Protein backbone atom coordinates (compact mmCIF):
# COMPACT_ATOMS: atom_id res chain seq x y z
CA UNK A 1 0.00 0.00 0.00
CA UNK A 2 1.11 3.52 -0.76
CA UNK A 3 1.24 5.94 2.16
CA UNK A 4 -0.72 9.11 1.34
CA UNK A 5 0.20 12.37 3.04
CA UNK A 6 -2.91 14.42 3.65
CA UNK A 7 -4.27 17.04 6.01
CA UNK A 8 -4.36 20.80 6.32
CA UNK A 9 -1.65 23.44 6.50
CA UNK A 10 -2.69 26.92 7.55
CA UNK A 11 -0.26 29.74 6.72
CA UNK A 12 -0.48 33.34 7.91
CA UNK A 13 1.61 35.74 5.82
CA UNK A 14 2.07 39.38 4.96
CA UNK A 15 0.70 40.39 1.56
CA UNK A 16 4.00 40.84 -0.28
CA UNK A 17 5.33 37.40 0.62
CA UNK A 18 1.99 35.66 0.22
CA UNK A 19 1.21 37.17 -3.15
CA UNK A 20 4.65 37.35 -4.74
CA UNK A 21 7.05 34.84 -3.18
CA UNK A 22 4.98 32.02 -1.71
CA UNK A 23 2.89 30.85 -4.73
CA UNK A 24 5.62 28.81 -6.50
CA UNK A 25 6.42 27.03 -3.22
CA UNK A 26 2.76 26.21 -2.62
CA UNK A 27 2.36 25.00 -6.22
CA UNK A 28 5.42 22.76 -5.92
CA UNK A 29 4.25 21.42 -2.54
CA UNK A 30 0.76 20.64 -3.86
CA UNK A 31 2.22 18.80 -6.86
CA UNK A 32 4.11 16.55 -4.44
CA UNK A 33 1.28 16.26 -1.90
CA UNK A 34 -2.05 16.77 -3.72
CA UNK A 35 -4.06 15.44 -0.75
CA UNK A 36 -2.92 18.31 1.47
CA UNK A 37 -5.13 21.37 1.76
CA UNK A 38 -3.08 24.58 2.00
CA UNK A 39 -4.87 27.64 3.34
CA UNK A 40 -3.08 30.98 3.08
CA UNK A 41 -4.29 33.99 5.04
CA UNK A 42 -3.01 37.48 4.21
CA UNK A 43 -2.44 39.65 7.28
CA UNK A 44 -0.45 42.53 8.69
CA UNK A 45 2.74 41.36 10.37
CA UNK A 46 1.53 42.02 13.94
CA UNK A 47 -1.43 39.70 13.28
CA UNK A 48 0.84 37.02 11.81
CA UNK A 49 2.68 36.94 15.16
CA UNK A 50 -0.64 36.74 17.02
CA UNK A 51 -1.80 33.87 14.81
CA UNK A 52 1.36 31.91 15.62
CA UNK A 53 1.32 32.71 19.34
CA UNK A 54 -2.33 31.62 19.58
CA UNK A 55 -1.68 28.41 17.60
CA UNK A 56 -4.34 29.35 15.08
CA UNK A 57 -1.95 28.71 12.14
CA UNK A 58 0.86 26.27 11.42
CA UNK A 59 3.39 28.80 10.24
CA UNK A 60 3.77 32.50 9.58
CA UNK A 61 5.82 34.51 7.12
CA UNK A 62 6.90 38.11 7.77
CA UNK A 63 9.50 40.58 6.56
CA UNK A 64 12.04 42.00 9.03
CA UNK A 65 11.18 39.48 11.78
CA UNK A 66 11.09 40.47 15.44
CA UNK A 67 12.87 37.98 17.66
CA UNK A 68 10.58 36.51 20.32
CA UNK A 69 11.63 33.82 22.75
CA UNK A 70 8.27 32.05 22.29
CA UNK A 71 8.89 31.63 18.55
CA UNK A 72 11.45 29.88 16.43
CA UNK A 73 12.58 31.98 13.48
CA UNK A 74 13.74 30.17 10.34
CA UNK A 75 14.96 32.27 7.39
CA UNK A 76 12.80 31.77 4.30
CA UNK A 77 14.62 34.03 1.84
CA UNK A 78 16.68 37.20 1.70
CA UNK A 79 15.33 40.16 -0.20
CA UNK A 80 16.98 43.37 -1.23
CA UNK A 81 15.37 46.77 -0.75
CA UNK A 82 15.53 48.68 -4.00
CA UNK A 83 14.48 52.07 -5.29
CA UNK A 84 11.75 52.02 -7.91
CA UNK A 85 10.53 54.98 -9.91
CA UNK A 86 8.53 55.92 -12.96
CA UNK A 87 10.42 55.26 -16.23
CA UNK A 88 10.28 58.99 -17.03
CA UNK A 89 11.91 59.99 -13.71
CA UNK A 90 15.48 61.39 -14.07
CA UNK A 91 16.89 58.60 -11.86
CA UNK A 92 15.25 55.82 -13.90
CA UNK A 93 17.95 55.68 -16.56
CA UNK A 94 20.70 55.24 -13.97
CA UNK A 95 21.99 51.78 -13.15
CA UNK A 96 22.88 52.77 -9.60
CA UNK A 97 21.73 55.63 -7.41
CA UNK A 98 23.40 56.88 -4.24
CA UNK A 99 20.91 57.21 -1.40
CA UNK A 100 21.77 60.91 -0.99
CA UNK A 101 20.33 61.55 -4.47
CA UNK A 102 16.78 60.83 -3.31
CA UNK A 103 16.76 63.63 -0.72
CA UNK A 104 14.45 65.86 -2.77
CA UNK A 105 12.27 63.08 -4.17
CA UNK A 106 8.64 62.54 -3.32
CA UNK A 107 8.23 59.02 -2.01
CA UNK A 108 5.44 56.53 -1.51
CA UNK A 109 5.86 54.36 1.54
CA UNK A 110 4.27 51.90 3.90
CA UNK A 111 2.27 52.90 6.99
CA UNK A 112 4.37 53.76 10.08
CA UNK A 113 3.72 50.45 11.85
CA UNK A 114 4.80 48.22 8.94
CA UNK A 115 8.25 46.64 9.58
CA UNK A 116 9.52 47.50 6.09
CA UNK A 117 8.64 51.15 6.73
CA UNK A 118 10.49 51.07 10.04
CA UNK A 119 13.51 49.62 8.25
CA UNK A 120 13.47 52.26 5.50
CA UNK A 121 12.98 55.05 8.05
CA UNK A 122 16.05 53.74 9.90
CA UNK A 123 18.07 53.74 6.67
CA UNK A 124 16.97 57.33 5.97
CA UNK A 125 17.95 58.40 9.52
CA UNK A 126 21.36 56.75 9.15
CA UNK A 127 21.94 58.83 6.01
CA UNK A 128 20.53 62.06 7.54
CA UNK A 129 17.60 62.16 5.12
CA UNK A 130 14.32 63.69 6.17
CA UNK A 131 11.95 61.96 3.77
CA UNK A 132 8.24 62.04 4.32
CA UNK A 133 5.99 59.97 2.06
CA UNK A 134 3.32 61.79 0.08
CA UNK A 135 1.27 58.56 0.20
CA UNK A 136 1.30 55.64 2.64
CA UNK A 137 -0.15 52.14 2.28
CA UNK A 138 -0.51 49.12 4.53
CA UNK A 139 0.58 46.62 1.86
CA UNK A 140 2.34 46.47 -1.47
CA UNK A 141 -0.82 45.68 -3.43
CA UNK A 142 -2.71 48.79 -2.31
CA UNK A 143 -0.09 51.02 -3.91
CA UNK A 144 -0.21 49.39 -7.37
CA UNK A 145 -1.31 51.75 -10.08
CA UNK A 146 -0.50 54.90 -8.13
pLDDT of residue 76: 82
pTM for the predicted model, two decimal places: 0.76
CATH of 7-61, one of 3.40.190.10, 3.40.50.2000, 3.40.50.880, 3.40.50.2030: 3.40.190.10
pLDDT averaged per 10 residues, the chain (length 146): 80 91 94 94 93 95 89 84 86 88 87 86 91 81 54
* Residue 15 and residue 42 in contact, taking contact as beta carbons nearer than 8 Å: yes
pLDDT of residue 24: 95
Domain with CATH 3.40.190.10 in the chain: 7-61, 80-141
Rounded to 5 degrees, φ, ψ at 39 are -115, 125
> Looking at the domain 80-141, which fold is it?
D-Maltodextrin-Binding Protein; domain 2 (3.40.190)
Q: What is the pLDDT at residue 142?
A: 63
pLDDT of residue 143: 54
Amino acid sequence: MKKVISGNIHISTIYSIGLHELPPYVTNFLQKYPSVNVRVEYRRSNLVYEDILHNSVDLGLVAFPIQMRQLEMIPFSNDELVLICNPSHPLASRGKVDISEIKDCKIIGFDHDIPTRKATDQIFREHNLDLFPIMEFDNIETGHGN
